[in-house]
């Protein structure tokens, strides 16, 4: 089974690119973030033509998450409880014997902005939500764009950026709570020394200069993590394909036995 996560930075702008990816990589489940689209506009017919059903939690112009599947799915949780005012940012489904959650965490804008405190509160609520769910033997996968660089290795320039947005101890400690409650960082366990950058700014040639951040994460409970046979961040899908402009994020995926 192949599980993936991808911030596509606009479903309308990225549909043809996404279809290329689905045909070639064929994930069984993929969590999408930053749809920037309401549920009624979601291109279900085009995705069904590629063999995928969709469960969505959309929002006009901003946010929005979805799960696409080649296997039967049913919704479990739509929206993060008590954080609905922060927009459409969490969706959990049950499929293939596991619970699969796609999240799009708030950005925070700047350390001085009111949105930064809202980001920390959202991450606190997310951790509390999963602390209740991470029971012994739970089959959970939590993936998405966390807008947090978990550790210095995950930043292209920790010396300069450390302590700034995405790199603060306040943000990192909240992501750390997910590990404390039982999740394992599947990519980092598979690749302890690979930075694994998944996002590069469109500006300044950041992608070609390898000036990236690892903010797209796949967490798995031990029952799932022990089944992981591979974990990948694929830079190829951050490049133009057939003239189509990619997202500023690359997809990340896990293979399970």
DSSP for the chain, written as a single string: -EEEEEE-S-HHHHHHHHHHHHHHH--SEEEEE---S-GGG--HHHHHHTT-EEEEE--SSS--EEEEESS-EEEEEES-TT-GGG-S-EEEEEETTEEEEEEE------TTSHHHHHHHHHHHHHHHHHHTT--TT--EEEEEE-----SGGGBTTHHHHTTSTTS-HHHHHHHHHHHHTT-EEHHHHH-TT-----EE-SGGGTTTTT-EE--EEEEE-HHHHTTEEEEEE-GGGGS-BTTBPPPSB--EEEEE-
The CATH number covering residue 86 comes to: 3.60.10.10
pLDDT, tens digit, 9 for 90 and up, residues 233-250: 999 999 999 999 999 999
Give yes or no for residue 251 having a pLDDT over 90.
Answer: yes
- According to the model, what pLDDT value does residue 252 have? 98
136-181 pLDDT, tens digit per residue, is 899 999 999 999 999 999 999 999 999 999 999 999 999 999 999 9
pLDDT over 90, % of the chain = 99
pTM of structure: 0.98
Task: Count structural domains, the chain.
Answer: 1
Domain span including residue 40? 2-256
The pLDDT of 185-210, averaged and rounded, is: 97
pLDDT at residue 136, as a whole number? 84
The mean pLDDT of 29-55, rounded to a whole number, is 98
């Amino acid at each position: 089974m192949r599980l993936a996560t991808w911030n596509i930075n606009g479903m309308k702008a990225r549909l043809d690119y996404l279809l290329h990816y689905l045909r070639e990589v064929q994930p069984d489940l993929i969590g999408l973030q930053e749809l920037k689209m309401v549920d009624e506009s979601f291109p279900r017919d085009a995705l069904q033509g590629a063999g995928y059903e969709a469960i969505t939690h959309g929002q006009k112009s901003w946010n929005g998450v979805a799960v696409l599947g080649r296997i039967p799915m049913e919704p479990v949780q739509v929206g993060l409880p008590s954080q609905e005012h922060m927009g459409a940012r969490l969706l959990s489904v049950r499929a293939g014997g596991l619970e699969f959650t796609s999240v799009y965490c708030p950005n925070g804008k700047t350390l001085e902005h009111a949105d930064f405190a809202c980001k920390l509160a959202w991450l606190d609520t997310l951790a509390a939500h999963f602390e209740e769910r991470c029971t012994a033997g739970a089959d959970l996968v939590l993936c998405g764009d966390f807008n947090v660089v978990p550790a210095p290795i995950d930043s292209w320039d920790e010396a300069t950026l450390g302590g700034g947005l995405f790199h603060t101890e306040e943000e990192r400690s909240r992501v750390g709570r997910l590990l404390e409650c039982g999740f394992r960082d599947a990519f980092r366990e598979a690749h302890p020394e690979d930075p694994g950058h998944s996002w590069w700014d469109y500006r300044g040639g950041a992608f070609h200069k390898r000036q990236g951040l690892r903010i797209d994460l796949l967490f798995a409970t031990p029952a799932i993590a022990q089944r992981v046979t591979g974990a990948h961040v694929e830079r190829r899908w951050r490049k133009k394909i057939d003239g189509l402009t990619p997202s500023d994020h690359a997809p990340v995926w896990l293979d399970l036995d």
